[in-house]
Chains A and B, each alone.
Chain A
Amino acid sequence: MQLAKEIWFLLRKEVKLELRMNYAISGILLYLFSTIFIVYSAFRTVKPEAWNALFWIIVLFTSVSAIVKSFVQENGGRQLYFYSIVNPTAMILSKIIYNILLLFLLSLLTWLGFVFIGGNPIRDAGQFILALFLGSVGFSITFTFISAIAVKANNSSTLLAVLSFPLVIPILLTLIKLTANALRILNDTGIQRDVLILIAIDMLLLSMTFILYPFLWRD
């Protein structure tokens, strides 16, 4: 139970920090809404196929900019402090959980922004929210782990994009298919299989993260 306690403690720390430094989250939100606004001013009317692509591209880039700071903000001294008091699994897990919540919130807000400006093309909201949640989990695991790698190098934000985009493409393609189904562009009765693939990929990446993170963080 020590682990759960540590995770809870670190999670509270993340939320507190986020609320205290609210310029970060407001920056992301501003970024999000201006992108949606630009997209709609350029397109005027968006067909469901294009909606699907635009939505996920915006979510993808917002996620990257939201997560890139997750390890950058931990400067050397604080990193050393955490290293001496908590266990690495608690550290990475708390960051992943926090980022899942953040990304889920951000993707719901993206949807809200799209609905506000251009109406709602989603026919099956339950399925769409499920896709958003699974997407947040997959993006969060990959981006958090890769940002832990990238922060060790010099040009971390470029490196994060270069390293993580190819890794999230399988997740992204499955998500686009799920969303296409929720938009009724595509009529697929076998969506359970796609959901299972997503869960399996998430579990695989999560277990690799658990095994590998302890090697990353000692410096």
Chain B
Amino acid sequence: MIQKHWWKALGVVILIYSFTAGMLVPLKPGIVEVAPQSAATGTTVEFKVTGYNSHYKEAEDSLRAWLKMDNEHALGADKINVLDDQHLRVTFSIPEYLPNKDRVKDFSLLLDNTVDGASVLPSAVFVTQDSIDPAMGQAAWVNSPIANLSSKDAMNFPFRNILAEGIRNTYYHVPLWFAMILIFLGSVVYSIRYLRTYDPMYDHRAQALNTAGLLFGILGLVTGSIWAKFTWGAYWNWDVKQNMTAIALLIYLAYFILRNSFEDDEQKARISSVYNLFAFAALIPLIYVIPRLTDSLHPGAGGNPAMGGEDLDNTMRMVFYPAIIGWTLIGLWIANLFYRTKQLEHRLLDL
């Protein structure tokens, strides 16, 4: 019993782990908003900063803030007032000139304290200069180098501005696609075995796997649409990956239509195995080649990094990779159940 079914238990345990860890581990402290978002040179501006998961009250003494232009140019804060744990008032006096040639330049806001560690909001403030003179800018610029940032070791997921808590969907949306491809691959293996042996059992397994794969595909599309609604603003954004996966699902739906249009079982099995192999081959350019060559909102296209950098750090990997294994095992279990009902149906009809 245990020897035969251990993988189902393993799948369940891994999924429970990925759900609990994925939902409960807090995000790193981050910055949600800075107001006002623009400023002019030669003025002293008080910015209102809203933090996320931050402990400004507790860290009042060690708080430091910078407006960062690039690695060489950063401006330290004159004064920091803590309102509460999530709100700060930071005052900067911006020099008369900027050390660059652009009329408008974006600055990142960098906060550091010993309790939360460092957090950053990219392109937080846009500074406009009326007269442009890089040489004057270099002279007027009071540079306060960023040094001795505190780092905090804790089990945290990264805080990404557009995603915020939505980053947790990485453990549900992405592994579903990985699991779907693995399950379709399993179905391809069974179709090949069917065509070599003509044993109907293999065809039934291939069909069961395709059903489970299609189910995961639909779930992947749904979780993705919900995610897209919160990060990109609409359920369907005509993004290349969304379009291509919708087509991929159509290809696999056609597989089931094809199966239903045969009466002879042997012919049904043989022809749908052939179509299954052809469909999988057509799926590869659809999912892996074309989206990589065109611009996409998804990471991993149009020059965005995928599965790396700040999008997937080591803490996330500890949940993400097991989740792929967990979903694949559950998918295999679902396919196994489909296969067994199919076998029972057959036995009933034969009687």
Q: Show the binding face of A for B, using Cβ within 8 Å.
A: 145, 149, 152-155, 159, 162-163, 165-167, 169-170, 173-174, 193, 197, 200-201, 204-205, 208-209, 211-212, 215-216, 219
Question: B interface, how many residues as a size bin?
Answer: 20 to 34
| A160 shortest CB reach to chain B, Å | 11
Known: A163-B275, A197-B289, A197-B293. A149 touches B258 (CB 8 A): yes
Contact, CB under 8 Å: A208 / B261: no
User: Residues of B contacting A205 with CB < 8 Å?
Assistant: 278, 281-282
Interface of B, secondary structure class, is: helix
User: Residues of B contacting A219 with CB < 8 Å?
Assistant: 267
Q: CB < 8 Å: which of B262, B273, B277, B282 contacts A153?
A: B262
CB of B105 closer than 8 Å to a CB of A: no
Contact, CB under 8 Å: A149 / B262: no
Q: List 17 A-B contacts (CB under 8 A).
A: A145-B278, A149-B271, A152-B262, A153-B261, A154-B263, A165-B250, A166-B251, A170-B285, A193-B293, A197-B289, A201-B285, A204-B285, A208-B277, A208-B278, A208-B281, A212-B277, A216-B270
User: Residues of A contacting B248 with CB < 8 Å?
Assistant: 166
Contact, CB under 8 Å: A197 / B254: no
| A190 shortest CB reach to chain B, Å | 9
Q: Which residue of A lies closest to B194 (CB)?
A: A215
Contact, CB under 8 Å: B279 / A200: no
Contact, CB under 8 Å: A163 / B254: yes
Contact, CB under 8 Å: A155 / B250: no
Report Cα–Cα, A219/B277, bound state, in Å.
Answer: 19
Report Cα–Cα, A154/B267, bound state, in Å.
Answer: 12
Known: A170-B247, A193-B293, A204-B281. A216 touches B261 (CB 8 A): no
0 or 1 for each of B30-71: is its CB under 8 Å from A? (1 = yes): 000000000000000000000000000000000000000000
User: Residues of B contacting A200 with CB < 8 Å?
Assistant: 285, 289
User: Residues of A contacting B279 with CB < 8 Å?
Assistant: 167
| B21 shortest CB reach to chain A, Å | 37
Contact, CB under 8 Å: B293 / A204: no
Closest 4 CB pairs of A and B: A166-B250, A153-B261, A166-B251, A208-B281
| A43 shortest CB reach to chain B, Å | 24
Report Cα–Cα, A155/B262, bound state, in Å.
Answer: 10
CB of B2 closer than 8 Å to a CB of A: no
0 or 1 for each of B255-268: is its CB under 8 Å from A? (1 = yes): 00110011100010
CB of B274 closer than 8 Å to a CB of A: yes
Report Cα–Cα, A204/B288, bound state, in Å.
Answer: 14
User: Residues of A contacting B297 with CB < 8 Å?
Assistant: none
User: Residues of A contacting B267 with CB < 8 Å?
Assistant: 152, 219
Known: A197-B285, A197-B289. A153 touches B258 (CB 8 A): yes
Report Cα–Cα, A219/B262, bound state, in Å.
Answer: 14
User: Residues of B contacting A173 with CB < 8 Å?
Assistant: 290
User: Residues of B contacting A211 with CB < 8 Å?
Assistant: 277
Contact, CB under 8 Å: A212 / B262: no
| A211 shortest CB reach to chain B, Å | 8
0 or 1 for each of B291-322: is its CB under 8 Å from A? (1 = yes): 00100000000000000000000000000000
CB of B9 closer than 8 Å to a CB of A: no
Contact, CB under 8 Å: A197 / B290: yes
User: Residues of B contacting A212 with CB < 8 Å?
Assistant: 274, 277-278
Known: A159-B261, A197-B289, A205-B282. A215 touches B251 (CB 8 A): no
Known: A201-B285, A205-B282, A219-B267. A154 touches B277 (CB 8 A): no
| A213 shortest CB reach to chain B, Å | 8
Residues B122-155 near A (CB distance < 8 A): none
0 or 1 for each of B2-31: is its CB under 8 Å from A? (1 = yes): 000000000000000000000000000000
Known: A200-B285, A205-B282. A216 touches B254 (CB 8 A): no
User: Residues of A contacting B254 with CB < 8 Å?
Assistant: 162-163, 166
Beyond A162-B254, A204-B285: 10 further Cβ-contacts under 8 Å? A149-B275, A152-B271, A153-B262, A153-B271, A155-B261, A159-B257, A162-B257, A163-B257, A205-B281, A212-B277
CB of B215 closer than 8 Å to a CB of A: no
Contact, CB under 8 Å: A170 / B274: no
Contact, CB under 8 Å: B281 / A170: no
Report Cα–Cα, A105/B151, bound state, in Å.
Answer: 68
Q: Which residue of A lies closest to B261 (CB)?
A: A153
CB of B286 closer than 8 Å to a CB of A: yes
Q: CB < 8 Å: which of B195, B250, B293 contacts A215?
A: B195
Contact, CB under 8 Å: B274 / A149: yes
| A164 shortest CB reach to chain B, Å | 9
Report Cα–Cα, A169/B283, bound state, in Å.
Answer: 11
| B185 shortest CB reach to chain A, Å | 15
| A194 shortest CB reach to chain B, Å | 8
Q: Which residue of A lies closest to B250 (CB)?
A: A166
Report Cα–Cα, A47/B293, bound state, in Å.
Answer: 28
Q: CB < 8 Å: which of A162, A166, A169, A215 contacts B270?
A: A215
Report Cα–Cα, A170/B262, bound state, in Å.
Answer: 28
| A219 shortest CB reach to chain B, Å | 7
